[in-house]
Amino acid sequence: MKLLHTSDWHVGKTIRGRSRADEHDAVLAEIVGIADAEAVDLVLVAGDLFDTAAPSPDAERCVYRALLQLAADGDRPVVVVAGNHDNARRLAAVAPLLALGGVQVVPMLTGPDDGGVIDIEAGGERARLAVVPFPSQRYIVTAADLMGLDADQHGGRYAERVRQAIELLASGFGDDTVNVLVAHLMVVGGQAGGGERAAHLFDDYSVPATAFPSGTHYVALGHLHRQQSVPAPCPAWYCGSPLQLDFGETADDKAVLVVEAAPGTPAQVRSVALTAGRRLRTVEGDLAALEALAGTTADDFLRVRVDEPARAGLADDVRALLPDAVEVTVVRPEAERRERAERAGRTPIELFDLYLAEQDAADPDLSALFAELLDAVATEEGDR
pLDDT tens per residue across span 342-380: 666 677 888 888 888 877 777 787 888 888 888 777 666
CA-nearest of 199, 197, 191, 202 to 231 is 191
**Average pLDDT, stretch 311-334?**
90
Q: What is the pLDDT of residue 372?
A: 80
The Cα-based distances of 329 to 307, 335, 339 in angstroms read 9, 16, 16
- Please check the confidence at residue 221 and state whether its pLDDT lies above 90: yes
**Average pLDDT, stretch 12-27?**
95
- Please check the confidence at residue 3 and state whether its pLDDT lies above 90: yes
Name the range with the highest mean pLDDT among 22-36, 256-270, 330-344.
22-36
Gap between the Cα atoms of 273 and 6, Å rounded? 12
More confident residue, 206 or 176: 176
**Average pLDDT, stretch 53-71?**
97
Banded pLDDT at 159 (limits 50, 70, 90) = confident
- Name the DSSP class of 300: -
More confident residue, 349 or 63: 63
- Please check the confidence at residue 137 and state whether its pLDDT lies above 80: no
- Please check the confidence at residue 200 and state whether its pLDDT lies above 60: no
- Please check the confidence at residue 90 and state whether its pLDDT lies above 60: yes
Gap between the Cα atoms of 127 and 113, Å rounded? 16
**Average pLDDT, stretch 203-230?**
91
Q: What is the pLDDT of residue 194?
A: 65
DSSP string for residues in 331-378: PPPHHHHHHHHHHTT--HHHHHHHHHHHTT---HHHHHHHHHHHHHHH
**Which sequence spans correspond to the domains of the chain?**
2-273, 280-331, 340-383
- Please check the confidence at residue 154 and state whether its pLDDT lies above 90: no
Gap between the Cα atoms of 126 and 262, Å rounded? 9
Question: Which pTM does this prediction carry?
Answer: 0.82
- Please check the confidence at residue 335 and state whether its pLDDT lies above 70: no
CA-nearest of 98, 101, 58 to 82 is 98
Q: What is the pLDDT of residue 155?
A: 41
Q: What is the pLDDT of residue 21?
A: 97
Share of the chain above pLDDT 70, in %: 87
More confident residue, 117 or 335: 117
**pLDDT tens, position by position, 101-114:** 999 999 999 999 99
Report the CATH number of the 2-273 domain: 3.60.21.10
The Cα-based distances of 282 to 14, 199, 295, 300, 305 in angstroms read 17, 25, 15, 10, 8
Q: What is the pLDDT of residue 347?
A: 77
- Please check the confidence at residue 52 and state whether its pLDDT lies above 60: yes
